[in-house]
């Protein structure tokens, strides 16, 4: 069954790395696919905009696979309603 969150995460990741989306699966390891810390920053920025969420710094450190991102985004979406278009007001984000 299609998972819209996973699809969006994979599409965003493909766009950041300029690679075809069908080369990425939930099990893909970010480090192994050549994602460096700057790519992660860009990815998180795009995901925050796409899902209107604010990803805390602490959550970022444990990300290893695509699935980690998908699960993290789902957790954030379940925990809070999407932000307004002004985004998070918290300086920590």
- Comparing CB distances to another protein, the nearer of 2 and 90 is 90
Site string for another protein, 7-26 (x = CB under 8 A): ---------xxxx-------
Part in contact with another protein (CB under 8 A); list of ranges 3-11, 23-31, 67-75, 79-87: 79-87
The Cα–Cα gap between 72 and 63 comes to: 9
CB of 93 to another protein, least distance (A): 8
Contact 84, 23 (CB under 8 A): no
- Comparing CB distances to another protein, the nearer of 46 and 71 is 46
* Residues contacting residue 15 through CB under 8 Å, at least 6 positions apart: 46
Per-residue b or e along 28-38, where b marks 16 or more CB atoms closer than 10 Å to that residue's CB: eebeeeebeee
Binding site for another protein (CB under 8 A): 16-19, 34, 38-39, 41-42, 44-45, 48-49, 83, 85-89, 93
């Amino acid at each position: 069954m299609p998972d819209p969150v996973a699809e969006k995460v994979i599409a965003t990741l493909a766009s950041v790395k300029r690679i075809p989306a069908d080369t990425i699966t939930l099990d893909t390891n970010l480090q192994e696919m050549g994602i460096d810390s700057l790519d992660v920053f860009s990815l998180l920025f795009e995901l925050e905009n796409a899902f209107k969420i604010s990803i805390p710094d602490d959550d970022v450190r444990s990300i290893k696979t695509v699935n980690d991102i998908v699960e993290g985004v789902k957790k954030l979406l379940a925990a809070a309603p999407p932000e307004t278009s002004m985004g998070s007001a918290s300086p920590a984000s």
